[in-house]
Amino acid sequence: MNFTPISDIGRQALIDRIKKMCVNDTEQTLIGIGDDAALIASEPNHNTLISTETLVEGIDFDLSFHPLSHLGFKVITLGVSDILAMGGLPKQVLISLNVTTKFSVEMVEEFYLGVKEACTFYNCDLVGGDLRSSRGATILSVTATGLVKTGLVSTRRTAKTGDAICVTGSLGEALAGLKILLRERKFWEENPEASQPDLENWKEVVAKQLMPKARMDLVQLMINHKIKPNAMIDLSKGFLNELKELCTQSNAGAYVYEAALPITEQTKDVASEMGELASAYALQGGEDLELLFTLPEDAVEKAFEILKDITVVGMIRPASEGIQIQKFTGEVWEIDSDH
Amino acid sequence: MNFTPISDIGRQALIDRIKKMCVNDTEQTLIGIGDDAALIASEPNHNTLISTETLVEGIDFDLSFHPLSHLGFKVITLGVSDILAMGGLPKQVLISLNVTTKFSVEMVEEFYLGVKEACTFYNCDLVGGDLRSSRGATILSVTATGLVKTGLVSTRRTAKTGDAICVTGSLGEALAGLKILLRERKFWEENPEASQPDLENWKEVVAKQLMPKARMDLVQLMINHKIKPNAMIDLSKGFLNELKELCTQSNAGAYVYEAALPITEQTKDVASEMGELASAYALQGGEDLELLFTLPEDAVEKAFEILKDITVVGMIRPASEGIQIQKFTGEVWEIDSDH
């Protein structure tokens, strides 16, 4: 890849290039990148969702092993995931990128290639943002908007005693991927003459870490088939943290079966190689960007039939019972549900 | 002020405190802080505006002289200003705050006091955001949404030859304030035993730097009195930069009279103390957060009558003439309007 310093072409020319890369397709975006603010047509019978978060290099992502296009895709996924977790579909995204001088024009474009790919994948428009300089660490900020039909929103606050606790996909994969990437980087640092690490055996977990997909497929099915969770949250900070948050906001407790947690073979292999417990990956590993939701018991059968890629891992209980995890051994581990 | 480490109470407890500080008043915000995304009621006959930017300590702000509550107010002002510059009124804001360990609970609360004050001032709701850790530099990201009546939006793209170029308030004040603050900080670093610097004589320019107000007053008047600029942009990167941007997007040129630039006495005094040109402050100084807009000539008289705090500084010309500044001396300075 060439390295054209950003100062060679200037900030505005670079923004113009990004604008050309990200032409918007949806009719709702009246004005996208390039003005003070984006202009979005409003829709009746829907409410707007909006969410934002900021990621810092060295804390939230690592450029030494994260290809820029994958990072661009992942940042959009993080924004979109918050919209999906409310039962809505994403519509617009904005990206603020604050880069250090080690970033070239080509690197910024590489990043936006991933952003564009994600926008196509999630059927949303990049409508704006900002490009500024940073010192020390690259900073990524994503804002996502979405629409949800009036009455179809799923918050964190309304889980009911007796609800089945469901998760989509599998748990702990992104953490397993991170463990592999960190190990390979360490090996490579200690053996600089070694060839590029072979990640073929760990493809799934590494892909989940570098370029996870938010579960728009399942939220779209929920909308089409009128499957409405009583409560929903996305799994960005790990299953246990998110379950605690959902229980606190719903003033509820939970009973979870460790044996029910969905864990892939590859995640188990990683845990075993690392001498760690796969169930700990599943309970605590962040960034899976799957969904955790609760369903009234009589809605579970239909949900299984339609959504397929879900697992029931426990049940919502009264707040007084706290959060309890029944371990493989039958022993029950009690967790304080308070923040 | 006490210094309670954030780890003492935890991230979630701190978010809860912020949530309590920032209870939302407007009916449009159905769900604010605390879920995956905020939920906003949609309005017919309006379009939604949205904008975001990220500021980094040491580049975009300086905690050594910026009181945290003022910084909180200023960040909201930056977001709101982008909405106003499109002819809309602000509705919701989101803040992402990434803090280093030198930030205490009290400091975060102090920051949000300013955020809350600004939300009241601009009649908008803080509906969400994120709180994470950073290393090295504190990072602030603001997202603002607004509404604009269908057909009343003012972009950067539609300035017309013959339009009067107007600015609100005065120019170069924020830069003058920054010069004073930097000088006083240097003095204080070199004379650590000296008492706190006396900024009484420089109150206006320092206030403009630390806690500027976006011109919602004037945009509200424009809406009420159907004064619709052909083009508008906010002055965050300096008059000349913003004029260039507006001309490029409108495929236009401009003729500006240096003598017409509105500069306060205090700004002139600062420039004179620093041995610099006040007109250079006015042309290049950033962060005034005033508005630059263009009006058809026959709309200028009414605009003066209603808006009062505006100045005509020049005229939009064909793109072929580029951007020309007529200096005090009569000499004409030509500026390339291309990026």
Q: How far apart are CA A98 and CA B54, in angstroms?
A: 7
Nearest to A136 among B12, B136, B232 (CB): B136
Contact at CB, B44 and A49, closer than 8 angstroms: no
CB B165 within 8 A of CB B313: yes
Write down the H helix ranges in chain A. 6-9, 11-21, 68-84, 105-121, 173-190, 203-210, 216-224, 239-250, 265-274, 278-284, 300-307
pLDDT at B24: 67
DSSP A336: -
Strand partners, A326: A257, A332
- Residue from A126, A79, A61, A94 nearest A234 by CA: A79
Q: In what order do the strands lie in the sheet with A252-257?
A: A231-234, A291-295, A164-168, A310-318, A252-257, A323-326, A332-335
**B1 contacts chain A (CB < 8 A):** no
Query: Given the DSSP bridges, would you call strands B139-149 and B231-234 parallel, antiparallel or unpaired?
Result: unpaired
Q: Do A52 and B52 touch (CB under 8 A)?
A: yes
Could you say which of B149, B181, B209 is where a domain stops? Answer: B149
B47 neighbors A40 (Cβ within 8 angstroms): yes
Measure B328 CA to nearest chain A CA, in Å.
Answer: 30
A42 and B46: CB-CB below 8 Å? yes
Residues A178, A137 share a domain: no
Among A133, A128, A132, A142, smallest CA distance to A34 is for A128
Are the C-beta atoms of residues A14 and A6 closer than 8 Å to each other? yes
Complex confidence, ipTM: 0.89
To the nearest whole Å, the CA of A329 is away from the closest chain B CA by: 32
Q: Are residues A135 and A251 in the same domain?
A: no
Q: Which pair of tokens denotes residue B204? A: 């206006």
Looking at the fold, whether B172 and B68 belong to one and the same domain comes out as no
Q: Tokens 């100084």 identify what position?
A: B285
Residue A158 belongs to some domain of the structure: no
- Quote the radius of gyration of chain A (alpha carbons, Å): 21
Note whether B179 and B312 are within 8 A (CB).
no
CATH number, domain with residue B41 = 3.30.1330.10
Chain A residues closer than 8 Å to B58 by CB: 135
Tell me: do A72 and A122 sit in the same domain: yes
Is A291 an interface residue toward B (CB < 8 Å)? no
Residues of chain A contacting residue B55, judged by C-beta atoms under 8 Å apart: 132
Same domain membership, residue A175 and residue A118: no
Residues of A in Cβ contact (< 8 Å) with B130: 52-54
Sequence-ordered list of residues with C-beta below 8 angstroms from that of A330, at least 6 positions apart, any chain:
none
Count of A-B CB contacts under 8 Å: 219
Contacts of A148 in chain B (CB under 8 A): 39
Does residue B122 form part of some domain? yes
Answer with the one of B122, B149, B176 that is the final residue of a domain: B149
Give the pairing of strands A139-149 and A46-56.
Answer: antiparallel
Q: Give the distance from CA B175 to its chain's centroid.
A: 13
Question: How far apart are the C-alpha atoms of B279 and B259, rounded to whole Å?
Answer: 8
Q: Are A45 and B41 in contact (CB under 8 A)?
A: no
Residue B208 placed within a domain: yes
Q: Which two tokens stand for residue A298?
A: 């009589």
Residues A122 and A173 in one domain: no
**Which DSSP letter does residue A5 get?**
B
Tell me if B141 and A54 make a contact (CB, 8 A cut-off).
Answer: yes
Bridging pattern class, strands A323-326 and A291-295? unpaired
pLDDT at A321: 95
A314 touches chain B (CB under 8 A): no
Report CA B332 to chain centroid distance, whole Å.
30
pLDDT at B187: 87
Task: Tell me if A43 and B42 make a contact (CB, 8 A cut-off).
Answer: yes
Q: What is the CA radius of gyration of chain B?
A: 21
Full domain range(s) for residue B245? 164-335
**Cβ distance of B128 and A86 shorter than 8 Å:** no
Say how far apart CA A283 and CA B226 lie, in whole Å: 58
Write down the pLDDT at residue A52: 93
Residue B158 domain-assigned? no
CB contact under 8 A, B50 and A38: yes
User: Cβ of B20 under 8 Å from any chain A Cβ?
Assistant: no
CATH number for B229: 3.90.650.10
Sheet holding A139-149, edge to edge: A125-133, A89-99, A139-149, A46-56, B38-41, B29-31
Q: What is the pLDDT of residue A6?
A: 80
Contact list in B for residue A137 (CB cut-off 8 A) is 134-137
- Same domain for A44 and A175, yes or no, is no
- Whether A62 has its CB under 8 Å from any CB of chain B: the answer is no
Question: Is A159 domain-assigned?
Answer: no
Q: Is B279 on the interface with A (CB under 8 A)?
A: no
**Residue among A200, A209, A220, A191 at smallest CA distance from A90:** A220
B54 in contact with A, Cβ within 8 Å: yes
**Are A249 and A201 found together in one domain?**
yes
Residue B1 lies in a domain: no
Which of A47, A130, A133 lies at the smallest CB-CB distance from B40? Answer: A47
Q: Do B143 and A50 touch (CB under 8 A)?
A: yes
User: Are both A47 and A77 inside the same structural domain?
Assistant: yes
Shortest distance, CA B143 to any CA of chain A (angstroms): 7
Taking the C-alpha atoms of residue B147 and residue B154, their distance in angstroms, rounded to an integer, is 12
- Confirm if B220 and B214 have CB atoms less than 8 A apart: no
Task: Give pLDDT, residue A25.
Answer: 65
> Closest to B52 (Cβ–Cβ): which among A30, A96, A156?
A96
C-alpha span between B113 and B119 (Å, rounded): 10
Mode of pairing for the β-strands spanning B139-149 and B89-99: antiparallel
User: What whole-number distance in Å separates Cα of residue B287 and Cα of residue B241?
Assistant: 12
Q: Which residue of B has its CA nearest to A97?
A: B54
B100 touches chain A (CB under 8 A): no
Residues 6+ apart with CB under 8 A from A257: A313, A314, A325, A326
**Residue that is last in its domain, among B97, B122, B149:** B149
Residue B156 resides in a domain:
no
Whether A116 and A168 map to the same domain: the answer is: no
Residue B191: the pLDDT is 87
Round to whole Å and give the CA distance between A63 and B80.
33
- Strands laid side by side in the B231-234 sheet: B231-234, B291-295, B164-168, B310-318, B252-257, B323-326, B332-335
In DSSP terms, B98 is beta-bridged to B132, B139
How far, in Å, CA of A285 to CA of A240, rounded? Answer: 9
Q: Is residue B202 part of a domain?
A: yes
Task: Compute the C-alpha angle A309/A312/A318, nearest 5°.
Answer: 145
Gap between the Cα atoms of B266 and B274, Å rounded: 12
CA nearest B263: which of B167, B332, B335, B329?
B167
pLDDT for A24: 67
Of A36, A144, A339, the CB nearest to B13: A339
Query: Which 3-state string (H, E, C) describes chain B?
Result: CCCCEHHHHCHHHHHHHHHHHCCCCCCCEEECCCCCCEEEECCCCEEEEEEEEEEEECCCECCCCCCHHHHHHHHHHHHHHHHHCCCCEEEEEEEEEEECCCCEHHHHHHHHHHHHHHHHHCCCEEEEEEEEECCCCCEEEEEEEEEEECCCCCCCCCCCCCCEEEEECCCCHHHHHHHHHHHHHHHHHHCCCCCCCCCHHHHHHHHHHHCCCCCHHHHHHHHHCCCCCCEEEECCCCHHHHHHHHHHHHCEEEEEEHHHCCCCHHHHHHHHHHCCCHHHHHHHCCCCCCEEEEECHHHHHHHHHHHCCEEEEEEEEEHHHCEEEECCCCCEEEECCCC
A136 at B interface, C-beta within 8 A? yes
> Which chain A residues are closer than 8 Å to B145 by Cβ?
48, 50
Per-residue pLDDT of chain A (339 residues; tens, 9 = 90+): 678 888 888 877 877 787 777 676 667 778 877 777 888 887 778 889 999 999 999 999 999 999 999 999 999 999 999 999 999 999 999 999 999 988 888 899 899 999 999 999 999 999 888 888 898 899 999 999 999 988 889 999 999 999 999 999 999 999 999 999 999 988 888 888 877 777 888 999 999 999 999 999 999 999 999 999 999 999 999 999 999 999 999 999 999 999 999 999 999 999 999 999 999 999 999 999 999 999 999 999 999 999 999 999 999 999 999 999 999 999 999 987 443
State the pTM of this model. Answer: 0.91
Q: Among A42, A55, A86, whose Cβ lies nearest the Cβ of B37?
A: A86
> Which B-chain residues 225-254 have CB contacts (< 8 A) with chain A?
232-234, 245, 248-249
Q: Are A127 and A275 in contact (CB under 8 A)?
A: no
The span from the CA of B204 to the CA of B174, in Å, is: 9
Both A313 and A181 in one domain: the answer is yes
What is the Cα–Cα distance from A236 to B20, expressed in whole angstroms? Answer: 24
DSSP H/E element including A40:
strand A38-41
> From the list A47, A58, A135, which residue is nearest B58 (CB)?
A135
Per-residue pLDDT 10s for chain B (339 aa) are 678 888 888 877 877 787 777 676 667 778 877 777 888 887 778 889 999 999 999 999 999 999 999 999 999 999 999 999 999 999 999 999 999 988 888 899 899 999 999 999 999 999 888 888 898 899 999 999 999 988 889 999 999 999 999 999 999 999 999 999 999 988 888 888 877 777 888 999 999 999 999 999 999 999 999 999 999 999 999 999 999 999 999 999 999 999 999 999 999 999 999 999 999 999 999 999 999 999 999 999 999 999 999 999 999 999 999 999 999 999 999 987 443
Q: Do A175 and A295 belong together in one domain?
A: yes
Count of structural domains within chain A:
2
Query: Any chain A CB within 8 A of the CB of B289?
Result: no
Is A87 strand, coil or helix? coil
On whether the CB atoms of residues A79 and A73 are closer than 8 A, the answer is: no
